[in-house]
Amino acid sequence: MKFLHTMLRVTNLQESINFYTDVLGMNLLRTTDRPDQQYSLAFLAYGSGNNENQGELELTYNYGVHQYDHGGFYGHIALGVEDVALTCQKIKEKGGKVTRDAGPVKGGNTIIAFVEDPNGYKIELIQLGTHQ
């Protein structure tokens, strides 16, 4: 099997695309609009999207839906970065929301931080080389 993508439902597709490309540095690979089915999709990834070692992020906008209840099942997306503190600084400079500043995970040495996308989805930043 191969991990292909994770899908998140969003309330404003362009705002979410802007966050994931401008703030988190992902690349927009492709979009699809399905007016008859009343939804639009955007696929993003790091690199060209042809990397078999990475999955993609699918953003789904369902026409007319302006709010979602995340419920208690969703956790977060995790991204590996070289320097968590520097990444948080850059995210803040671009208007992104850091909800937990860089520091060691409770009970461990792994350096992490959390940011939030425009829809309130949590994204964990994990410093490469410290992940245990």
Rounded to 5 degrees, what angle do the CA atoms 54, 55, 59 make?
A: 145
Question: Which residue in 82, 93, 116, 124 is the catalytic one?
Answer: 124
pLDDT tens for the chain, 132 residues: list them.
Answer: 778 899 999 999 999 999 999 999 999 999 999 999 999 999 999 987 677 778 899 999 999 999 988 887 888 999 999 999 999 999 999 999 999 999 999 999 999 999 999 999 999 999 998 765
Q: Where are the beta strands (DSSP E) in the chain?
A: 5-10, 27-34, 39-45, 56-62, 77-81, 97-104, 111-116, 122-127
**pTM of the prediction?**
0.89
pLDDT of residue 131: 64
Domains of the chain: 5-62 (3.10.180.10), 77-127 (3.10.180.10)
Residue 124 annotated to the active site: yes
